[in-house]
Amino acid sequence: MFKDLDPLLHSQLRLSVMSLLISVEQADFVFIKEKTEASSGNLSVQLEKLSNAGYIEIIKGFRGRKPLTSCRITKKGINAFENYVNSLKDYIDIKK
């Protein structure tokens, strides 16, 4: 009756990151850090986990002479996020 929830997305910070990235083309590290109120170290670790799963792409570059890290959600990440949300809806809608 109930679908398994994706353990990778069942973390508050990783789910927050995915929720942000699903609605934008790309977001830089500072923006994500500010919106999630995560520490730099914790955010870096969680972004790496999402990247290793193929859910996001991490883009390293420069803005002028300053390093810039940005992220964007992948098609696999969009599918995983949508499946996660649909699974949660199944938990909420017990009339099925």
The per-residue pLDDT string of the chain (96 residues; one tens digit each, 9 = 90 and over) reads: 678 899 999 999 999 999 999 999 999 999 999 999 999 999 999 999 999 999 999 999 998 999 999 999 999 999 999 999 999 988 887 665
Give the integer Cα–Cα distance in Å for 61 and 74: 19
Indicate whether 94 belongs to any domain: no
Q: Which of 36, 34, 2 is nearest to 19 (CA)?
A: 36
The model's pTM is 0.90
In this structure, what CATH number is given to the domain that contains residue 73? Answer: 1.10.10.10
Residue 43 domain boundaries: 12-89
Indicate whether 52 belongs to any domain: yes
Structural domain count of the chain: 1
Contact partners, residue 65, CB within 8 Å, separation at least 6 = none
CB burial of 37-55 (b: ≥16 within 10 Å; e: otherwise) equals: ebeeeebeebbebbeebeb
Distance of CA 47 to the CA centre of its chain: 7
Indicate whether 6 belongs to any domain: no
Indicate whether 62 belongs to any domain: yes
What pLDDT, on a 0 to 100 scale, did the predictor assign at position 96?
52
What pLDDT, on a 0 to 100 scale, did the predictor assign at position 95?
61
